[in-house]
A and B are shown apart, each in its own frame.
Chain A
Amino acid sequence: MKYIDEFRNKEASLWFAGKVKKISENRDITLMEVCGTHTMAIYRYGIKKMLPANIRLLSGPGCPVCVTPDNYIDKAIELSSKEDVIITTFGDMMHVPGTESSLDRQKANGSDIQVVYSIIDALKIAEKNINKKVIFLGVGFETTVPTIASAILQAKKMNLKNFFVISANKLIPPAMEVLVKGEKVNIDGFICPAHVSTIIGAVPYRFLSEKYHIPCVIAGFEPTDILQAIYLIVKQIAENRSEVEIQYTRAVKNEGNKKALSIIDNVFEDCDTEWRGIGEIKKSGLKIIDEFKNFDAEYLFTFEYKPVKKNLGCICGNVLQGINTPDECKLFRKVCTPESPVGPCMVSSEGTCAAYYKYT
């Protein structure tokens, strides 16, 4: 593929890797790739092996399925067992274990759960099944939120009365701040997400470079992009700078995508929300505003309170913060595998444990 080959280029990749070795001068540097797509690419292309040993890459909390807390999954499972409900979801959510079941097990037991590739498909399902309540599991970061917001606007226009979203949508920058402040991991630089940044731009990361003096580079998700971004961060460190740079200039503008941002603003507002392993983070979630509450499953359905059984042994919460690597989990590969995952980091195609399992 001509377009892609440019960003999967062996010579350029080796050149950046060589430069990193040279300018880092054996100094120990820990970088975090925030986004799950980057984690996958790093493992998929064997990038760690190309870098010198003094450069450590940690995976961060940027896998939406992974940071979704148990109680959300339990709610989805509870909704799926109602007679007149069709659950629509992205595929990854199917296998995430809740307290007592998972969506794929619910489906095997007869619940109507349909995997969709886009929320637009969920709208179509709602249109075709007017006597059913069609609920979309809104899991994702800034990247997916604009489409969810426009689907809700569309549903309103179409006067659909049977389409609902249950939102666990989250915002990335507040979580990055919690990690930096938390002092559990020492992060010398951030490889900032590609897709998320196409929406939000570079400005929302600025507090990290200005207040906390951490170099940030927004990277594309192809392997040569990532290596170039690592080079740019290490260069900032070597030159004692801390800025937000954009490596992924072919898609990211400083100010982001204004249209997408305003659609989000029309439908959602900030709220405090829980992240798996990290706990509640102020203003890091998105909830549907009052004007559209008739599309909010959280508002319209009542849920049984079930205490969440903590999965003893799963250290997903720490893996998401870069505190532990998957092989430090006692269950990794022995009990927890992609076929019978114990935690979401093993389920998601962007999860760190899944990447570790598959590629190392």
Chain B
Amino acid sequence: MENKRIRLGHGSGGKLSHDLIEKHFLPYLRNDLLEELDDSAVFDLNGKLFAFTTDSYVVDPIFFPGGDIGKLAVCGTVNDLAMSGATPIYLSCGFIIEEGFPFVDLEKILDSIKKTAEEADVKVITGDTKVVSKKSVDKIFINTSGIGIIDNGIRISGNKAAVGDKIILSGYVGEHGIAVMSKRHGLTFETNIESDCAPLNKIIANILKEGLQVHVLRDPTRGGVATVLNEVAKKSNVEIFINEDKIPIREEVMGACEIMGLDPMYIANEGKFIAFIALEVADRALEIIRNSKYGENARIIGDVIKKEKGRVVLKTCIGGERIVDMPTGELLPRIC
């Protein structure tokens, strides 16, 4: 059977998405910066390091418990910059709007962009709007790009995880994905779970300003914690060992996952990060994170145990052991 068309699975953030980029995009657009495939591209301009990133937001529904597409569009890009160790400064914002879209909704979204940008201390300095005919787009899609400055000496990347590193997860997993799904039409259960959507740049700045040795920072968005851990294991070529008992999951998220047959390790988060931190300073980093807004429930969930193999091993809650793989096939589409 031939694969001549793009399927939804290509947008899942899992293996198919990687294939899409590696087999179709890179051959045309390859260069040394793009090739890194980190959350942001990091480059040098006159001796100063900058991070640059872009992301598009197509979440359905556009308003969900704990946020909306506007808040998401700011947080997502701010967080991508923060994960490269950058201080985000400027954003661009592009809107593709469906004919007939209500002004009240647009204004709600813009207000939330304004508030989130203020909280994250970034400015939207350029933008674009396009209006397309009915059904050419579903309500509203937003693209944001962002630029940030990286202070001297900071080099954080997915390939820098080292044996002995402690792995910190900044809080409860799976809330964004479940909040969005519970609102999405077709799923007939209600939960009180709110999206964790939040800008993480300040919490990251708190860790970095103490000069702690942070090796890797990642936000487990599409594809969840399992995907991020696998990406880091492969890029750094290390074996990661995680304790299922230690992963913070709210009972309600767990319950919703049970009903829908989902694994919370693969559910999207929009206000969490995972940090790989040198053993000696891990406790201090955890303390800083726990004392910062959005990091109160942070925990050490595992370690980097050896070089090679590039895989993630999980000690299960009943004492067994298994591999945690990249997500496969179609995860839930339009989650961010």
Contacts and interface: CB of A to CB of B under 8 A. Distances in A.
A13 B328 contact: no
Contacts of B7: 104-105, 108
B75 to A, nearest CB: 29
Given A100-B1, A101-B1, A338 B329 contact: yes
B127 interface: no
B15 A46 contact: no
B322 interface: yes
Contact of B320 (A47, A100, A104): A47
Interface stretch (A1-9, A139-147, A196-204, A286-294): A1-9
Contacts of A338: 15, 328-329
B316 A46 contact: yes
Contacts, number: 88
Interface string A1-43: 1101000111001100100000000000000000000000001
Give the size range of B's interface with the partner.
Answer: 20 to 34
B1 A49 contact: no
Interface in B63-99: none
B1 A97 contact: yes
A95 interface: yes
B323 A50 contact: no
A95 B254 CA distance: 27
Given A46-B316, A46-B320, A339-B19, A358 B1 contact: no
B104 interface: no
A49 B321 contact: yes
B1 A45 contact: no
B187 interface: yes
Given A105-B1, A358-B325, A13 B318 contact: yes
Interface in A306-347: 337-340
A105 B318 CA distance: 40
Contacts of B328: 337-339, 357-358
Contacts of A169: none
Interface in A82-106: 95, 97, 100-102, 104-105
B22 to A, nearest CB: 13
A17 B322 CA distance: 17
Chain B CB within 10 Å, residue with most, of A43, A108, A121: A108
Nearest to B255: A1
Contacts of A46: 314-316, 318-322
A327 to B, nearest CB: 13
B316 A339 contact: no
B333 to A, nearest CB: 11
A8 B320 CA distance: 11
A339 B323 contact: no
B100 interface: no
Nearest to A347: B329
A213 to B, nearest CB: 31
Given A4-B258, A95-B329, A102 B1 contact: yes
Which of A13, A224, A338 has the most chain B CB atoms inside 10 A of its CB? A338
Contacts of B325: 357-359
Nearest to B18: A339
B164 interface: no
Contacts of A4: 254, 258
B9 interface: yes
B214 to A, nearest CB: 31
Contacts of A189: none
Interface string B1-30: 101011101000001100100000000000
A139 B244 CA distance: 34
20 contacts: A1-B251, A4-B254, A10-B317, A10-B318, A10-B319, A14-B318, A43-B322, A46-B315, A46-B319, A50-B318, A101-B1, A102-B1, A108-B6, A109-B5, A121-B186, A337-B15, A337-B328, A339-B19, A358-B328, A360-B323
Interface of A: 1-2, 4, 8-10, 13-14, 17, 43-50, 95, 97, 100-102, 104-105, 108-109, 117, 121, 223-224, 227, 337-340, 349, 357-360
Given A46-B319, A48-B320, 20 more contacts: A1-B258, A4-B254, A8-B318, A10-B319, A17-B319, A45-B320, A49-B320, A49-B322, A101-B1, A105-B1, A108-B5, A108-B7, A109-B5, A337-B328, A338-B15, A339-B9, A339-B15, A339-B19, A359-B323, A360-B323
- Closest 6 CB pairs between A and B? A46-B320, A338-B328, A13-B318, A46-B322, A359-B322, A46-B321
